[in-house]
Amino acid sequence: MKIKVTKPLLILTAGVLLVAGGAFGATRAAEEHSSNTEGVAFETAEFTVDLMENQDGKYQSVAGTSEEPKALQITSLSQVSAGKEELAVEHPYSEEVKVVNKSDGDFPQYVRVVVSKYWTDKDGNKDTSADASYIKLDVADGWAAESNEDNAEETIYYYKEPLDKDCEAQLLKAISFDENVLDAYKSTTYDEDGNALVTIEGYQDKSFKIEVRVDAIQARHAKDAMLGAWGIDAQFDEAGNLISIDGDTL
């Protein structure tokens, strides 16, 4: 029996990275559930942290709000997004994103970033059958990751050191895609002679979306502030570095 395999060219529709939450936070930050990804949204307060992206060699603020999100440019994927080149799997596409302490006063801050990643279909609807783990983020050193058991698409990153005023911490370095996006779906049919016709389809006509939400609290009385604002039991070493969350060593 002959087997004929057809495998179309994968030109992935590159989605945008959305800053879906506010870029502000403080010890009085209010916590509420988001209907989109069951994440966390934050109210504006007096201590600010900005989210910035490297766009053509120059960092630009991309901090938005839940009502008015801003999109990252992801210029390294512009040719793929335009359909002019095929996506290269397991290849790091540069995507540099950092957070900056822009407090008005001299306030060191502890920062956390909530990252949600998922796929949408050609109509823009969230595709729950698509595997979010195929979207791979290269996160810089210095961050502790906490997965969400109730939401596999979401990860919370805590910067382990207090971030001084005007100082910055790189969050993302690159984005890549698992090789499974090439042949995630397979279907087999048979011709009149009984020969198998196998069609392998990847993530054609899909877009990836990544939502990034950032906030911070003042480093002073951080243990109580994190419990009140973030609902976590944090422990620190003598230098003030975050070493455990809810009893889990970082």
Residue 214 in any domain: the answer is yes
The reported pTM is: 0.77
Strand partners, 136: 176
Residue 87 in any domain: the answer is yes
Residue 191 in any domain: the answer is no
Residue 209 in any domain: the answer is yes
Residue 5 in any domain: the answer is no
pLDDT in tens, the chain (250 residues): 333 434 444 444 444 333 332 222 222 232 332 333 334 443 333 457 888 999 888 998 887 766 666 667 788 888 887 777 778 889 999 999 999 998 877 889 999 988 888 888 888 888 888 889 999 999 999 999 998 777 878 999 999 999 999 999 999 999 999 988 877 777 778 888 888 777 767 777 788 888 888 888 888 889 999 999 899 999 999 999 999 999 999 9
Residue 67 in any domain: the answer is yes
Residue 196 in any domain: the answer is no
Range of the domain at 226: 11-182+205-243
Domain count, the chain: 1
Residue 76 in any domain: the answer is yes
